[in-house]
Structure 1
Amino acid sequence: MTIPTSPAEPVVVTAPGIAVELVPFGAAVRRLLVTDAGGRTVDVVLGHRDVSAYDGRGGYLGAVVGRLANRLGGAGFDLDGRHHDVTANEGTTSLHGGLEGFDQRRWDVVSRTGSSVTFALDSPDGDQGYPGHVHVEVTYAVEAGRVSIAYVATTDKPTVVNLTNHAYVNLTGEGSGPVDEHRLTVPASRYTPVGADLLPTGEIADVSETPFDLREATRLGDALDRGGEQLRYGGGIDHNLVVDGAGMREVARLEAPSAPTLVVESDQPGLQVYTGAHFDDTVVGVGGRTYGPRAGIALETQGFPDAPHHDGFPSVVLRPGETYRTTTVWTFS
């Protein structure tokens, strides 16, 4: 792989045993190639075969989502005594920033080396209804077996910000089929239950005796077979887990037979686990195969969904003079 001369083209960053191809639209990860000790190289994320599909219709594959990741009920929120209506794109809910979220924007490449690239985006005051001009930078950096994603954002008016990457992972290779045989561990003793609209109820509940008890390595197919109302709402797992501890720590471990292991580290309080129920063989992947249900799993490090409506959730408010900073690390072994 080579780094292109034009920022309009995909950008590739490499380190021993790893290569990441990134698309300026959505600052999205299109391919993530991992070479194991035996010399086998596997593309472990789902990506569009047609690069132009990322231009406004990428379906979140590998993209940075915002200004407010996840769901916001009623497509609006109150801040400092003022109500703000934002665009709805899932019934009356705003999902991942609304009709034209950050995943649908062309980001600027502001710096790059052989092993790192920084994308920048300016979101003007009133963008999708959100207050404040927000400047965002996302840096992808690789080293042997490791990808770090560092997010920085500032604003000139009080606003809300919650950013994440929406990569779908399949450790046995993109287009290789469902992830049912993957085993997932998440050190989270609590989760945020949802209603039929997939919005949090506001409760923070114990995971014991639920499909969301992933504190020990659990085969995803077994977790999905546990059934119950919560899984029916999401067509599988589409829930925020409250990760134990604080600061930079391991928030997930994903394993699969004869495949590299992925460890996810983050400083965020939540992890949205989504088992990809919506895939219906209409998306053609990089390798030419279509993606069916559970073709990949998203492990989205984040603030809690719908946080502006729940005083008991960690705040996602960003004010002038403050800097939003968060880092996620993917390590393959």
Structure 2
Amino acid sequence: MTNSEATNVTQRVFGELSDGTTVQAVTLDNGCLRAEILTRGGVLRSLQVNTPHGPVEAVLGLPDLAAYVADTDNLGILVGRYGNRIAGARYEHAGVRHWLDANEGRNHLHGGRHGFGRRLWTVLEQTPHRLVLALTSPAGEGGYPGTLDVTATFELSGAELLLTYHARTDAETPVNLTHHPYFNLAGDPQVPADSQWLRVPADHFLPVDAELIPTGEVRDVSGGAFDFREAVEVRLRRTDEAQVSASSGYDHCLVLAGDADCSAELYSPHSGVAMRIASPMPALQFYEGQALDCSQPKLGRGFCLEPQGFPDAPNHPHFPSTMLSPAEIYLHPIRYTFAHVSNASSWAEVGQALDANAGT
């Protein structure tokens, strides 16, 4: 980092934890996007998209550290070791049963009580456009075998935010790292999140039981409430289909088609802001934030669109494996591309604007 870059780096004390540990808020700003990231949990607290009409806040955030410590909705966190749920907080591998933290009833969610979204990350590198955070999860933490060393790199480039996970382990362990921002691209909590248009090139989804655990079935989406292959206003797609009603809305894993061109696209006609998410992972968890109605009613709702491996994969041999061995390097880039399209006349217009900003 040059001296001129160092003077432009923005970092402030966001608060102190009960043990006196300081939590920092780091701001990245390249003129197109402005992101604020906390060292506790790697929380993406704010992501502003500059438009001809001024900045638009794309994610939901909380006012202070105390609110994040008390948060049970995982707003904006880096998720690990395992995003989503593992049934019964246990799995068996190579003849050995492993017991994990149970933190959602009898099940394991988002890494359990020791999940990465509640941990303090170390800043390895910081410039005005780039932040590298690091974390070591020791063997046995949360019940997982193997020490896992992780870095999460946030980078701004043009109208894109790139989050890249790298991880290595010294013993075979399940790993499913993802990201948990709540997106309402309207930038206004009074505008319902389900007025956003969503496209997900997924041809199947994973039905769940009453505990939101995959049943093991991989079901075709055709013609139902989970068919987002053509962009649609979400409130118009949601129906009283049993899978939606059972979870009071969407909280399901969509299985991307083999020829999927991205993980998801989202557009708010209110603000004109559009977003594309691209990741090499085979699935996307779509959660529409219905729990916020009770826990954070002033925030409104936001959509969690989480690229990931299959939930509960260690307990379903026919799901793609999420096991990481010491011989492998875990690599998961998540690219968020933004554009502004006022009064789009067609979805093709939204796609063209996003294409124009990709790779900037």
Q: TM-score, normalised by structure 1?
A: 0.93
Q: Which residue of structure 1 aligns with residue 272 of structure 2? A: 259
Q: Which residue of structure 2 aligns with residue 43 of structure 1? A: 57
Give the AA of the match of 2:37. L
Segments of 5+ residues of structure 1 without an aligned counterpart are 285-289
Give the AA of the match of 2:299. Y
Q: Which residue of structure 1 aligns with residue 11 of structure 2? A: 4
1:298 matches 2:301: no
Tell me the secondary structure at the aligned position of residue 292 of structure 2.
coil
CA distance in 2, matches of 1:21, 1:159: 31
CA distance in 2, matches of 1:228, 1:69: 26
CA distance in 1, matches of 2:65, 2:117: 14
1:125 matches 2:139: yes
Residues 34 and 50 (structure 1 numbering): CA distance in 2 closer, same or farther, change over 3 Å?
A: same
In the TM superposition, what is the alpha-carbon distance from 1:191 to its structure 2 partner?
Answer: 0.9
In the TM superposition, what is the alpha-carbon distance from 1:234 to its structure 2 partner?
Answer: 1.6
- Select the residue among 334, 341, 357 that pairs with 1:328: 334
CA distance in 2, matches of 1:298, 1:174: 17
Tell me the secondary structure at the aligned position of residue 117 of structure 1.
strand
1:312 matches 2:318: yes
Residues 138 and 58 (structure 1 numbering): CA distance in 2 closer, same or farther, change over 3 Å?
A: farther
Q: Which residue of structure 1 aligns with residue 350 of structure 2? A: none
Query: 1:42-69: per-residue Cα shift (whole Å, max 9, x none)?
Result: 1110111113433464631110111010
Tell me the secondary structure at the aligned position of residue 33 of structure 1.
strand
Query: 1:189-244: per-residue Cα shift (whole Å, max 9, x none)?
Result: 111111111111111110012210000011111122x1111001221111111111
In the TM superposition, what is the alpha-carbon distance from 1:246 to its structure 2 partner?
Answer: 6.5
Give the structure with higher Rg (CA): 2
CA distance in 2, matches of 1:246, 1:313: 19
CA distance in 2, matches of 1:5, 1:94: 34
In the TM superposition, what is the alpha-carbon distance from 1:280 to its structure 2 partner?
Answer: 2.5
Give the AA of the match of 1:199. I
CA distance in 1, matches of 2:67, 2:9: 22
After TM superposition, the structure 1 = structure 2 runs for residues 190-201 of structure 1, keeping only pairs within 5 Å, are: 190-201=204-215
In the TM superposition, what is the alpha-carbon distance from 1:143 to its structure 2 partner?
Answer: 1.2
Measured on the aligned residues, the alpha-carbon RMSD in Å equals 1.7
Q: Which residue of structure 2 aligns with residue 97 of structure 1? A: 111
Query: 1:139-174: per-residue Cα shift (whole Å, max 9, x none)?
Result: 000011110010011111111100000000000115
Q: Do the aligned partners of 2:149 and 2:167 also contact (CA within 8 Å) in 1?
A: yes
Q: Do the aligned partners of 1:56 and 1:104 also contact (CA within 8 Å) in 2?
A: no
Q: Which residue of structure 2 aligns with residue 230 of structure 1? A: 243
Q: Do the aligned partners of 2:73 and 2:291 also contact (CA within 8 Å) in 1?
A: no
The answer to which structure has the higher helix fraction is 2
Residues 69 and 46 (structure 1 numbering): CA distance in 2 closer, same or farther, change over 3 Å?
A: same
CA distance in 1, matches of 2:255, 2:246: 19
Q: Which residue of structure 1 aligns with residue 357 of structure 2? A: none
In the TM superposition, what is the alpha-carbon distance from 1:5 to its structure 2 partner?
Answer: 6.5
1:27 matches 2:8: no
**Displacement over 3 Å in runs of 4+:** 5-8, 55-58
Aligned length in residues: 323
Residues 24 and 55 (structure 1 numbering): CA distance in 2 closer, same or farther, change over 3 Å?
A: farther
Identical pairs, percent: 38
Single out whichever of 321-330 and 47-56 deviates more from structure 2. 47-56
In the TM superposition, what is the alpha-carbon distance from 1:9 to its structure 2 partner?
Answer: 1.6
CA distance in 2, matches of 1:282, 1:56: 10
